[in-house]
Amino acid sequence: MKKYCYIRLGIMGLLLSWQAVNAQNTVSFLKDTTGPVINRNIYGHFAEHLGNCIYGGFYVGDTSHIPNTKGVRQDVIAALRKLKIPNLRWPGGCFADTYHWKDGIGPKAGRPAIVNTWWGNVTEDNSFGTHDFLNMCEELGTEPYLAGNVGSGTVQELSDWVQYVNFEGKSPMSDLRVQHGRNNPWKVRFWGVGNEAWGCGGNMRPEYYADIYRKYATFMHSNWKNEHLFRIASGANSSDYNWTEVLMKNIPKNLLEGVALHHYAVISWNQKGDAVNFSERQYFQTMQSGLFMDSLIHKHSAIMDKYDPQKKVALVVDEWGGWYDVASGTNPGFLFQQNTMRDAVLAGATLNIFNNHADRVRMANLAQAINVLQSVILTHGDTMILTPTYHVMEMYNVHQDATLIPIAIHSNDYTLGKEKLPAVSVSASKDKAGVTHITLVNIDASKAQDITVNTQGSFKSVNGRLLTSAKLQDYNSFSQPDKIKPVAFNGAAIRNGNLTVKIPPYAVVVLTLQ
């Protein structure tokens, strides 16, 4: 197997003959290496019973004046279809380990209410449950990813849920599903076996959770022919490498398809900073935390390689994104924050990292889809707007199921005081039609970047799309919903076999080469 990587040439000591002595921001396609397919599931999303993500976000009920399909907003369905979301994780998050799925089936009037103790202590009436979510996924054309309750639920409860949604023969759970109006199973493939077992999922030690995982996973069966469940273990909190070590060492590989990783770009858990009124220092710190994702994946992957050299087990980054202080005047347990150009840059750079680690990262979920944290959609009453992060995810969906083009990159530094970060982030792929796409991010808050790309090919045309704005702090509001949106990019040209690009500060660019 040929080795490929996303590297900085200064670190690796790699010199390319085509570079001039003083050349900077140079990218080279490594044509003599074979890259993996970028799994479309890297572009997944997350919908937790948290704040106004489900209720008022996705779901308004079938009696609402807001146009809906079985209670799900039609404008949300249309927007997410355009985004081509490949999977959607539900019902949590921390909420998953207090959620009992049988509370959310059957006639809505008869469903018991609970208190959402994790997020705002609000009453949850369970009007949005298993049927509602899985039918919504069918409307969206996306695969559901169900997070099972391990913290407060039983093995039997999780096993019954699997049977309820997947078994096509006659059984107690499939009979119950038919009784509630669904004849055919949904055939749910992705299953989380608990969530954040090191924290809100039970404050477990990794050794204890590994044994719990083995027990629960043993009783989870696909229940349909020629298919297997994709079971995902509750993985590490950011740089807890021992957690990954213990899980990989102690869980048999026939019970394990994926190991999760959670990492948020946060300035400080005590002082997260405002989502809109932030300084360049706070922007730099956010990007510093976000770019740490590359180191995390390198190190967790190295541990996984020891126990799984054939890379059969996926690294699943099923919670990522920027986390700031909640918007003033909102419920602190609802985690509502605005979404600026800072978030667009963060999203673009993070997705480039995932693409370049596509050999091991085969699924990821942005937290969260609507009205919570780094969302792609915001709603208010019957109005919906798309965030800058939405536009980045839409621009980048050209990479879904395309073949990664491994690259070597040398970047200028983005310097603030005595600290520095690489100014340029890049990934590239070739789709099934043979079209090449390059996604580039300029992280620098004040300087444009000139980039030379040696494509080692004979491309005749290049066109692109650009996302940027007048200020880093700009965002789309309900009064100005289109302040930030993609526009045509004319800053790229092909000269003497090389591609030259001039990208403005804090900007995201997607190029198409043919």
**Catalytic annotation, residues:** 196, 319
Phi, psi of 404 (to 5 degrees): -60, 135
Question: Residue 292: is it exposed, middle or buried by C-beta count within 10 angstroms (0-12/13-18/19+)?
Answer: middle
CB 277 within 8 A of CB 328: no
Euclidean distance between CA atoms 192 and 173, whole angstroms: 20
Closest CA to 451 of 464, 440, 435, 465: 440
Residue with tokens 């208190």: 115
**Strand extents, DSSP E, 413-472:** 413-416, 419-422, 424-430, 436-442, 449-454, 462-467
**Per the structure block, which two tokens stand in for 337?**
């924050």
**Per the structure block, which two tokens stand in for 440?**
């580039």
Closest CA to 272 of 262, 285, 263: 285
277-282 long-range contacts, CB within 8 A, separation 24+: 277/473, 278/324, 278/342, 278/472, 278/473, 280/416, 280/445, 280/446, 280/472, 281/416
The DSSP element (H or E) to which 250 belongs, if any, is: helix 241-250
The residues near 16 (Cβ < 8 Å, ≥ 6 apart) are 9, 26, 28, 408, 454
CB 103 within 8 A of CB 111: yes
> Residue 417 — left, alpha, or beta (φ > 0 → left; ψ -120 to 50 → alpha)?
left
- Which residues is 510 bridged to in the sheet? 439, 465
Q: At what angle do helices 388-396 and 74-83 cross, to 10 degrees?
A: 40
